[in-house]
Amino acid sequence: MLSVWRSLGARPVATAAVLLSIALGTGATAMTYSYARALLFSDPPFRDPDRLVRVETVRGGATGRLSQLEIRDLARDATALEGIAGFRTTQYTAGSGGAPEVAVGTIAGLAWRPALGAADRPPSTPSPLTGRTTSSAAPARR
């Protein structure tokens, strides 16, 4: 065993390269496993995912999103649905001075949390990556 330590000390650059390769490989493997576990094997963060449906309109053979008035009418009149929430996913362009950056974002109304069976976010839950979350008790910003 002593000869192993001596040979490692005799070639410090090679030893550092080997240790760095092992560390990077271990880290990449752990990260890949974590992502696969989170995406493939864990339950979604809402109740009854098999009961979720997406409702779209069909106008002239093309599908599209519902208007706010259609969402309101559907929430009022649809008895087969437990909860209804509207959302819109769109692209945003931001930048100053350099090349503009394109980001995809989602805007959702306050009804999406109850519709998914999610309670208001407890204080220990991490905040969203960007933007903010709201609760039904929070005052609306204008």
94 and 55 within one domain: yes
Location of structure tokens 């000390």: 9
- In tens, the pLDDT along 52-103 reads 888 888 888 888 888 888 888 988 898 888 888 888 888 888 877 778 888 8
Q: State both tokens at 72.
A: 């309101």
Location of structure tokens 């890949």: 32
Q: How far apart are CA 70 and CA 56, in angstroms?
A: 10
Residue numbers of the domain that contains 79: 49-116
**Residue among 46, 111, 107, 120 at smallest CA distance from 72:** 111
Count of positions (residues) in the chain:
142
**Residue among 127, 71, 125, 129 at smallest CA distance from 105:** 129
- In tens, the pLDDT along 16-62 reads 899 999 999 999 999 999 988 888 887 776 777 778 888 888 888 88
60 and 35 within one domain: no
107 and 84 within one domain: yes
Query: Sorting pLDDT into bands at 50, 70 and 90, what band is 136?
Result: low
